[in-house]
Amino acid sequence: MSRRGYHHGNLKEALIRAALNLISEKGLSGFTFAEAARTAGVSPAAPYRHFRDRDELLADVARQGFERFEAMLHLAWNNGRPDPIVALGNIGKAYLAFAATEPAYHSAMFESGLSLEAHPELRHAGDRAFAILRQAAQQVALRLPPESRPPSLMMALHLWSLSHGIAALFSRGDAARRSLPMAPEDLLEAGLLIYLQGLGLTPGP
């Protein structure tokens, strides 16, 4: 982004794009606030018009990532259609797809170590995304008798851990260092099936 872009009021978005590029190239800890400004094509002082420091820039990157993530999960859930268990599997696939296609956002969202107390807007964005998974867990749990239903929060956390763990395993390049017999989507599908069967649930209407 050139200085001309800054004068047209695009500085904030230019800095976010610069941060994403730098995260992709160097990792979360591989760049400074000044380097983000240089990559955006502005002076080292210019970013302070929008961000207090590098952490605030990363928080905005992560917030934007969670908003994109929420949109993907919402689309995948599709109000539980065609069937809540099928739609739950689609959420998992969307989780993997986001980690694979948006690795810089994913890193900023889950690996930056930013304080949620200092950045409440980041907490709210993450909560909105997680709420979709919790809603899905609630709908799937309705298939079980009341006395056998696990708490929806616990179920959502189990499913989040499964999806996140598989996404992290493959996104970190471990697949290049060892022979993994399954694709991430197949691994998630098998894990989800085993989990649901353990609860007494099976796919299908």
**In a domain? residue 1:** no
Question: Can you give the residue range of the structural domain that contains 167?
Answer: 61-171+180-199
Q: 106-152: per-residue pLDDT in tens?
A: 999 999 889 898 899 999 999 999 999 999 999 999 999 999 999 99
Q: What is the pLDDT of residue 181?
A: 80
Q: 82-102: per-residue pLDDT in tens?
A: 999 999 999 999 999 999 999
CATH number at residue 23: 1.10.10.60
Look at the chain and report how many structural domains it folds into. Answer: 2
**In a domain? residue 158:** yes
* pLDDT > 90? residue 18: yes
3-state secondary structure the chain: CCHHHHHCCCHHHHHHHHHHHHHHHHCCCCCCHHHHHHHHCCCCCHHHHCCCCHHHHHHHHHHHHHHHHHHHHHHHHHHHCCCHHHHHHHHHHHHHHHHHHCHHHHHHHHCCCCCCCCCHHHHHHHHHHHHHHHHHHHHHHCCCCHHHCCCHHHHHHHHHHHHHHHHHHHHCCHHHHCCCCCCHHHHHHHHHHHHHHHHCCCCCC
Q: 163-186: per-residue pLDDT in tens?
A: 999 998 887 655 455 667 889 999
